[in-house]
Amino acid sequence: MIPFNKPVWLGSEAQRVHEAIAVNGHLAGGGPFGKRCEELLEPVIGRRALLVGSCTHALEMSAILLAIGPGDEVILPSFTFVSTANAFALRGARLRFADVDAHGNIDPGNVAGLLGRRTRAVVAVHYGGHSCDLDALAEVRRDVPLVEDAAQALGARFRDRPLGSFGACSAFSFHETKNVGCGEGGALTVCNDSLLERAEYLRDKGTNRRKFLSGLVDKYTWVDIGSSYVLSDLNAAYLHDQLVARERIQSRRREVHERYRAALAPAVERSGAYLVHGRPENTENQHLFAIVFRRSSQRDAYIAHMRAHEIVTPFHYVALHLSPMGRQHADERPLPMAERLTTNLVRLPLFFNISDAEVEQVIDRTLEFLDAL
């Protein structure tokens, strides 16, 4: 079987985990590998990064840092993962679901109609490692803080500026399905030093432990609310070499992505479907390769066709405004593009360790299906 994803495996990860255990003797958060990973991330993102347990944690911390609370409203795309919504729902906020464009990113024009006096944040989810028109979104939201859900966007850019460097707060993921990963992990970036200081408190259970470890105070104590958001150094050890090899990993993903595009784009176009891609201003990170079919029946038939040949090609999100929990927040407005992507989008296998033979098999079986439409 050809799976949709396999976690990146370079071969040196186990050695680094052994080093964390047997050499460093530091397994909890804030250890040597965690510090090295944060140093490796800073030039990629353009901001100092705090390693946390997951992108979900980073989003939850963002909601706290922006003082989101009951009665506040947060605008976010409906076509996203539940963590984007949960982070703000947990703080008691009302969620306002916006539609997306044809390639999965929040529609600034749709956001404009949702803004109100209670709006406290707008969340842009950088779907597939590309973004909406962030200039247009900035003009629409004006002084309302931006949160970037950059779970899929490490290394991607808008107008040659790293995604994750635009928002008041930004969240990244190192889940095993991402371009680089450690099973579960994430990072938070913020726009200024005051938010950074508080983020350090939140990450360390509401204490000023980092100042203590830096020798800035003679003991640490409880100074704020917080939780255990820090990433274990075991996970950071696994992540470390992948960050070092990020450009090599990215090069392989680009190679596979371009092979798919070159081979499939003409047949996809002939069938009336289209390929998901970024804006001209985007430098993408090839996080995914997705086809949007004309009809949901075609998407379902394609998934079944590929499964019959032992190739896993999954759909993606179910638009949140259609979910049981989402309906508690949603109004009656249709969100046609979010609904279309829910029913018509499918993703092809794309991961670092996929073989050339597997890529060709995916292409051959996909062309077989498209040519029969």
Q: What confidence score (pLDDT) does residue 216 get? A: 86
Domain positions in the chain: 13-245, 247-371
Residue 314, number of CB atoms within 10 A of its CB: 14
Looking at this protein, which amino acid is placed at residue 294? R
Q: What confidence score (pLDDT) does residue 163 get? A: 98
| Helix (H/G/I), strand (E/B), else coil: 312 | coil
Measure the CA–CA gap between 114 and 73, rounded to whole angstroms: 10
Order of strands across the sheet with 282-283? Answer: 161-162, 157-158, 282-283
How does pLDDT run across 339-356, given as a tens digit for each residue? 999 999 999 999 999 999
Measure the CA–CA gap between 144 and 6, rounded to whole angstroms: 38
Q: What confidence score (pLDDT) does residue 365 get? A: 98
By residue count, the chain amounts to 373
Joined together, the tokens standing for residue 347 give 């993703």
243 Cβ contact list (under 8 Å, min separation 6) = 37, 40, 41, 180
How does pLDDT run across 196-246, given as a tens digit for each residue? 999 999 999 999 988 888 888 888 899 999 999 999 999 999 999 999 999
Strands 290-292 and 274-275: antiparallel
Paired with 189 in beta bridges are: 170
Q: Any alpha helices (H) in the chain, and if so which ranges?
A: 13-18, 32-45, 55-65, 82-89, 108-112, 134-141, 193-203, 209-213, 233-244, 246-270, 296-308, 336-344, 356-371
Q: What confidence score (pLDDT) does residue 332 get? A: 77
Q: What confidence score (pLDDT) does residue 327 get? A: 92
How does pLDDT run across 54-70, given as a tens digit for each residue? 999 999 999 999 999 99
- Sign of the four-CA dihedral 263, 177, 243, 157: positive
How does pLDDT run across 72-131, given as a tens digit for each residue? 999 999 999 999 999 999 999 999 999 999 999 999 999 999 999 999 999 999 999 999
Measure the CA–CA gap between 8 and 11, rounded to whole angstroms: 9
CA distances from 175 to 182, 316, 362 (A): 6, 16, 24
Looking at this protein, which amino acid is placed at residue 95? L
What DSSP element (H or E) covers 120?
Answer: strand 119-125
| Helix (H/G/I), strand (E/B), else coil: 11 | coil
Residue 156, number of CB atoms within 10 A of its CB: 24
CATH value of 13-245 in 3.30.1130.10, 3.40.50.2000, 3.40.640.10, 3.40.50.720: 3.40.640.10
282 Cβ contact list (under 8 Å, min separation 6) = 130, 131, 156, 157, 158
Joined together, the tokens standing for residue 221 give 């104590």
Q: Report the Cα 329 to chain-centroid distance in Å.
A: 23
CATH 3.90.1150.10 fits 247-371, yes or no: yes
Section 129-148 average pLDDT: 97
Q: What confidence score (pLDDT) does residue 333 get? A: 86
- Beta carbons of 344 and 293 less than 8 angstroms apart: yes
Q: What confidence score (pLDDT) does residue 45 get? A: 98
How does pLDDT run across 8-48, given as a tens digit for each residue? 999 999 999 999 999 999 999 999 999 999 999 999 999 99
Section 242-251 average pLDDT: 98
- Beta carbons of 118 and 66 less than 8 angstroms apart: no
